[in-house]
Structure 1
């Protein structure tokens, strides 16, 4: 992005579009599609939202809120703050991620950007929004600032980011403690945890994407931290090693999210207890949390109690019932013969056998010698000719024992 060549301040309180918001200010939550960027930014998440109708919609991953005039498609991603972008803006610093937002049909009339500030009474005027376009920057005065969002009306989209007036000494902000477990190698005798201290409005999805090889361990992560302050991570059991001993909480928004602390614990330990101490006031700011080292990653879903059988497994498991209940043996034999999965000789033997039970037993000899592909075709023909029987056996298998 180019360095801003001019700066101006605009008040967007009167921009049209406010009437398109729902009177009740109801906000629907949506989960966007996640796409990968181009070759240059192939590791960067691109979020896509297809809005079905007018209203307010909050992204479950970034907490961005879009005020839509009508149905439309929105694409957005985080981009890097360049320190030079704020040159000439006075004592202002980033207070949230920088978002590049595009709407293909200009259906957005408002935008709510998440912040993590903790306000004193009436002290909400420290926040503004920087709007970057074509190498220029404009400071936008918010329509309203709530405990969680900076709200503004907009006409044109490009790149937006929350900024705040620098305060000395720095004031506390809402933050998050994120815990990741590194993969365990064959010779490794220690589990390694990466612990991140980050502002609350940094999207978890962005951090997870940078550390996709690690397992994110879910825990209650919210806390209150002060930028520029030293913190100490405490860990039980005491034999665990934490490095570094202390670290400063930095108020930054990427592009890289490196762990603040590393924890080394014996592989025999199935859990640890973590807490965070403010070294300045010698007080816990993130109370002890029990962390299970056997936690699964967010990509792993809970397996159902009864896994769906493959076609081959179905035929093997229900052999006895199939011998007793299948009546359309010749229709199945016709299908197998048509695909050269049984010989003409076997087909002739099946044809003259009686009753059906003897026919299907003979056919099972071909299934046993033919492998999974023959069993899969048998299953397909069975489902085609006797769907009720297949459904009956499937439902029996899924019942709790």
Structure 2
């Protein structure tokens, strides 16, 4: 017997299983939490005849039709029968709240899908996708009416299936399905400590609901309201995708956090040059949380971004779920110059996927000079490339190298190294495709080794005007800041200081003591709080900030904390 018991649903999903049956697993999601009486069904035995078996399946699907608010269905079946196709259509038409139907096929060799089913689904605005041992049937958001899109948007706060099924959710608005509508912002780059000195942490304080694109990483955040978003690139574990077939990384692995929980969608930049809709099916997003991996099918894949809906934030990385052979990518060539000895210097040449942020590579090579040049090129994964270099006395190693689509950080090793005399001020470089008879994929160009470095400024330099200002001007700030409470009010409104600290600042007298208490809180809060203090001070007392920044060396400055405790910042 397959027995469904009476239950109070505190979670939004329930998995029902029956061993040794044609339909062995049912995952279903209720859109409202309420007490529901389910019924009993007999086991769908392998040995019963085809007619009885089909009647059992029809009976089960009829039961599912009776469930109001049904959103997702996942059926695990041992084989496909011809009579299941019309039942699928009937279930979809009978359940207007349904947004996903998955069939997990145990024996894919026996799978039979009628073309008429695909055509019938298309006519009612649904699509059918087959991947590995599963079949997904989902609504096509582009065919929804404006009223239906509004209904889907109103439902997006409801819980969704948290099982191992691939996720696919309906687009809630046309604006959120296109990255070009995003408002551009430049994040704050934060120091992570001595052990992570080569890693950036990006900070974005969102002022309101909307769609925002990071100028350094090209990530797009769809926000439902204000909130602080922190994100950084972490290492891909080479074994984390083992056992998942051909799946491989297709972009950096981002660790993303938003304490306010106001991020509703993410747009991940991809570098694949997709020639048709069939290739877009190869991109997905891996979501790592609680030791599990969830592969999320996109809401949409554009020419530049992969768009997903999210339930929670943690680690996300773009993945390619089909063979990448033969598909070109948008690549980039980055150059970094360093000194070896008084007579020799070395130029690092990096061939990287186009969705690797330049700021990440720059931060890794802070001791070298970044040489800005036109970097875009077209590369094929697993093809061999060589570096053309003049003058000829420059030594290049290696002679050739295979381009592999796996260099997504946080370590970025050079593809080629050029050793040259310290007096050489100009070289000519080009990238050649050895598998195509030496065809140039990055045309030869003049590289001036004495030109000033431009582009994205390393985060160390961006930090100095903010946090280092507070660290080195404590004594002067205690004596001269007059807008202490205005700044404290702003920090409290952003939850950067507690109400208790705010109360201590307000109660302290005179104003110099107020500033001492505030500086102690800034020291405990870290770089992000100091940076916010700097911005508020510059807004309230710009002349004081300008005067202190243009003053003499600040290396020996100190400020004094309450109770005669002194600290050097």
**What TM-score do you get using the length of structure 2 for normalisation?**
0.49
Residue 273 (structure 2) pairs with residue 118 (structure 1): yes
Determine if contact 1:25/1:56 at 8 Å carries over to the other structure: no
Cα separation, partners in 2 of 1:290 and 1:127, compared to 1, 3 Å: same
- For residue 183 of structure 1, what is the aligned residue in structure 2? 339
Residues 69-96 of structure 1, C-alpha deviation per residue, up to 9 Å, x if partnerless?
1111100011111122112322210000
3-state SS of paired residue (1:83): coil
1:153 to 309, 316, 319: 309
3-state SS of paired residue (2:196): coil
Q: How does 1:65-80 map to 2 (within 5 A)?
A: 65-80=220-235
Residue 430 (structure 2) pairs with residue 267 (structure 1): no
Cα separation, partners in 2 of 1:241 and 1:20, compared to 1, 3 Å: closer
Return 114-123 or 93-102, whichever deviates more.
114-123
- For residue 222 of structure 1, what is the aligned residue in structure 2? 376
3-state SS of paired residue (2:355): coil
Determine if contact 2:209/2:225 at 8 Å carries over to the other structure: yes
- For residue 145 of structure 2, what is the aligned residue in structure 1? none
Distance 1:255 1:89 in 2: 23
Q: Which runs of 5+ in 1 are unaligned?
A: 1-5, 302-375, 381-401
Q: How does 1:89-128 map to 2 (within 5 A)?
A: 89-122=244-277, 123-128=279-284
Q: CA deviation at 1:254?
A: 2.2
Q: CA deviation at 1:153?
A: 1.5
**What TM-score do you get using the length of structure 1 for normalisation?**
0.69
- For residue 238 of structure 2, what is the aligned residue in structure 1? 83
1:251 to 398, 402, 405: 405
Q: CA deviation at 1:39?
A: 5.2
Distance 1:274 1:191 in 2: 16
Cα separation, partners in 2 of 1:25 and 1:262, compared to 1, 3 Å: closer
- For residue 344 of structure 1, what is the aligned residue in structure 2? none
Residue 380 (structure 2) pairs with residue 233 (structure 1): no
- For residue 135 of structure 1, what is the aligned residue in structure 2? 291
Q: CA deviation at 1:165?
A: 2.0
Instruction: Note the aligned Cα RMSD (angstroms).
Output: 2.6
Residues 76-127 of structure 1, C-alpha deviation per residue, up to 9 Å, x if partnerless?
0111111221123222100000001000101111100011111122221000
Cα separation, partners in 2 of 1:246 and 1:20, compared to 1, 3 Å: closer
Distance 2:325 2:168 in 1: 31
Q: CA deviation at 1:23?
A: 9.9
Q: CA deviation at 1:184?
A: 6.1
- For residue 388 of structure 1, what is the aligned residue in structure 2? none
Distance 2:167 2:320 in 1: 16
- For residue 63 of structure 1, what is the aligned residue in structure 2? 218
Distance 1:135 1:56 in 2: 30
- For residue 3 of structure 1, what is the aligned residue in structure 2? none
Cα separation, partners in 2 of 1:241 and 1:30, compared to 1, 3 Å: same
1:171 to 327, 342, 360: 327
Q: CA deviation at 1:38?
A: 4.2
Residues 49-70 of structure 1, C-alpha deviation per residue, up to 9 Å, x if partnerless?
0011111111111110001111
Q: CA deviation at 1:25?
A: 6.3
Q: CA deviation at 1:168?
A: 6.1
Residue 443 (structure 2) pairs with residue 287 (structure 1): yes
Residue 346 (structure 2) pairs with residue 192 (structure 1): yes
Determine if contact 2:177/2:307 at 8 Å carries over to the other structure: no
Distance 1:245 1:102 in 2: 43
- For residue 14 of structure 1, what is the aligned residue in structure 2? 170
3-state SS of paired residue (1:147): coil
Q: CA deviation at 1:131?
A: 0.6
Distance 1:19 1:248 in 2: 40
Cα separation, partners in 2 of 1:23 and 1:132, compared to 1, 3 Å: closer
Cα separation, partners in 2 of 1:266 and 1:223, compared to 1, 3 Å: same
1:50 to 205, 211, 227: 205
- For residue 365 of structure 2, what is the aligned residue in structure 1? 211
Return 194-203 or 265-274, whichever deviates more.
265-274
Cα separation, partners in 2 of 1:7 and 1:130, compared to 1, 3 Å: farther
Determine if contact 1:92/1:166 at 8 Å carries over to the other structure: yes
3-state SS of paired residue (1:209): helix
Cα separation, partners in 2 of 1:68 and 1:25, compared to 1, 3 Å: farther
Determine if contact 2:219/2:269 at 8 Å carries over to the other structure: yes
Distance 1:236 1:24 in 2: 41
Distance 1:238 1:203 in 2: 32
3-state SS of paired residue (1:11): coil
Determine if contact 2:324/2:381 at 8 Å carries over to the other structure: no
Structure that is richer in helix per residue: 2
Distance 1:24 1:43 in 2: 29
Distance 2:263 2:365 in 1: 33
Distance 2:264 2:285 in 1: 16
Q: Which runs of 5+ in 2 are unaligned?
A: 1-161, 462-546, 552-569
